[in-house]
Amino acid sequence: AAAAAAAAAELTFKLGLAAEIKCRDFIDAYNSCVEGRTVTMFLCRAAYGASQHCIQEYVNKSNVETLKRRWVDAGRPQFPDWSKLMEGVVDPQHVVKGKLHRTHG
């Protein structure tokens, strides 16, 4: 169970990286809104909501479960083919390559 939870955390992290690329304009708009303000909840609510909605298109339970199932089916590789693993879940231009930090079976 601990290994599955660790894998889910890593896959969620990778989805988050992809979401940062996809949602960069929304995130930047929110950051611009809050910059230099002490009271932001009301004033920046729309920008925050737009950024969160965009991020949740990638980072959600269904996508994590899909990636976890594909990763297990691929033999739990330390260096997965991220393009293949995320196919149909994440747009190819948003895939961040690299090692899955979990190194043991």
For residue 18, give the 3-state DSSP assignment.
helix
Residue with tokens 């293949």: 84
What are 98's two structure tokens? 């690299």
Contacts of residue 15, Cβ cutoff 8 Å, sequence gap at least 6: 58, 59, 63, 64, 67, 89, 90
Give percent of the chain above pLDDT 90: 53
Instruction: For residue range 34-52, list pLDDT tens digits in order.
Output: 988 877 778 899 999 999 9
- Report the distance separating Cα 23 and Cα 46, nearest Å: 14
Which pTM does this prediction carry?
Answer: 0.79
Instruction: For residue range 59-102, list pLDDT tens digits in order.
Output: 999 999 999 999 999 998 888 888 899 999 999 888 877 655 54
Residue 89: what pLDDT?
Answer: 92
What are 28's two structure tokens? 């930047």
For residue 96, give the 3-state DSSP assignment.
coil
